[in-house]
């Protein structure tokens, strides 16, 4: 597949690429202010703030949507095949960003493009209009994921992990696909707890380590084996860097441990 790098839509590379072949970023910055956030201490550190701001390419939200729709049309078949992820450079469901996210997902859904949203926001009431108006087609094209670490103290302005889990339960009951990003793994006990608390209403787990951190390889090896067998009825994707530190080949994992190409929308 030829790499596309637009102003709104693009092909993420490296570790981000393990989440989706296609992604959309409108904003840079996030009010969650998570201690472990890679964006605010990585390549985006010079532009990062706790107040999300539209990327400099966009004059305003109307202009952002105009560019988004043009880039969507150019890549329509690939986006329909792989889906579109929101977002790597902000939380797409906080109050500053949710409006533009919902407008963009509406455009995507009307073009039969599956949308994958990752958030730490659990304001179910804020989403009521979207949920109440979503028909069967819309529900089949929206998956909402929650980052779950089990460490509220590291995510000071985000909804609590318990609140996120409860909202995941409500969304799953309402007929939406739901998934969890167990990333970063802060400690193995809390990460295990997050999976155990959500296994009945989570369609996919994506599990990854904190960027730049070195973990105990022996413990990690045992933990991967434990998780993959204990939650045998759950679909689990272990990120490449985690398997590398655990010294495990993906081909040696049981069948419930899926690869990057597994598509929850087709399950």
Give percent of the chain with pLDDT exceeding 90.
78
Place of tokens 């988004």: 68
**Per-residue pLDDT tens over the stretch 138-194:** 788 999 999 999 999 999 999 999 999 999 999 999 888 999 999 999 999 999 999
Place of tokens 């167990």: 182
pTM value is 0.94
What DSSP element (H or E) covers 245? Answer: helix 240-246
**Per-residue pLDDT tens over the stretch 91-115:** 999 999 999 999 999 999 999 999 9
CA angle 33, 37, 39 (to 5 degrees): 105
Number of residues assigned to the chain: 267
Q: DSSP labels for 107-121? A: HHHHTT--EEEEES-
Q: What per-residue confidence (pLDDT) applies to 1?
A: 59
Taking the CA of residue 49 as centre, how many other CA atoms within 13 Å lie in the half-sphere pointing to its CB? 8
Number of H helices, E strands in the chain: 9, 10
In Å, how far from its chain's centre is CA 214? 23
Beta strands per DSSP E along 134-219:
142-147, 177-182, 204-207
CA gap 90, 117 in Å, rounded:
11
Q: What per-residue confidence (pLDDT) applies to 13?
A: 84
Q: What per-residue confidence (pLDDT) applies to 139?
A: 81
> Exposed, middle or buried: residue 51 (CB in 10 Å: 0-12, 13-18, 19+)?
exposed
Q: What per-residue confidence (pLDDT) applies to 265?
A: 87
Whole-angstrom Cα Rg for the chain: 18
In Å, how far from its chain's centre is CA 220? 23
CA gap 23, 115 in Å, rounded:
9
Lowest model confidence (mean pLDDT) among 7-21, 26-40, 183-197, 201-215: 7-21
Q: DSSP labels for 6-56? A: -SSEE---GGGGGT-S-EE--EE--TT--TT-SGGGTTTTTT--SS-EE-T
**Per-residue pLDDT tens over the stretch 23-80:** 999 999 999 999 999 888 877 888 999 999 999 999 999 999 999 999 999 999 999 9
Q: What per-residue confidence (pLDDT) applies to 126?
A: 58
Residue 137 confidence class, pLDDT cut points 50, 70, 90:
low
What are the structure tokens assigned to 194, written together? Answer: 């997050």
129 pLDDT more than 50: no
Beta strands per DSSP E along 77-134:
84-86, 115-119
235 pLDDT more than 50: yes
Q: What per-residue confidence (pLDDT) applies to 227?
A: 98
Cβ atoms of residues 72 and 64 within 8 Å: no
């Amino acid at each position: 597949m030829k790499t596309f790098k637009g102003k709104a839509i693009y092909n993420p590379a490296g570790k981000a690429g393990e989440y989706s072949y296609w992604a959309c970023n409108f904003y840079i910055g996030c009010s969650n202010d998570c201690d472990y956030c890679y964006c605010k201490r990585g390549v985006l550190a010079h532009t990062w703030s706790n107040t999300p701001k539209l990327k400099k390419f966009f004059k305003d939200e109307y202009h952002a949507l105009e560019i988004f729709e043009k880039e969507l049309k150019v890549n329509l078949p690939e986006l329909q095949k792989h889906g579109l992820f929101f977002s790597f450079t902000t939380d797409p469901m906080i109050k500053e960003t949710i409006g533009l996210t919902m407008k963009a997902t509406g455009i995507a859904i009307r073009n039969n493009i599956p949308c994958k949203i990752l958030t730490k926001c659990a304001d179910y009431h804020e989403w009521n209009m979207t949920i109440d108006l979503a028909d069967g087609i819309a529900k089949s094209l929206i998956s909402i994921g929650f980052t779950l670490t089990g460490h509220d103290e590291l995510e000071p302005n985000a909804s609590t992990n318990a609140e996120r889990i409860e909202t995941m339960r409500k969304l799953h009951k309402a007929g939406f696909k739901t998934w969890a990003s167990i990333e970063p793994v802060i400690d193995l006990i809390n990460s295990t707890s997050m999976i155990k608390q959500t296994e009945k209403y989570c369609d996919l787990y994506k599990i990854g380590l904190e960027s730049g951190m070195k973990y105990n390889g022996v413990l990690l090896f045992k933990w991967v084996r434990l998780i993959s067998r204990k939650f045998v009825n759950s679909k689990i994707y272990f990120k490449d860097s985690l398997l590398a530190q655990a010294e495990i080949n993906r081909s040696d994992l049981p069948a419930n441990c899926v690869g990057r190409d597994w598509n929850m929308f087709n399950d």
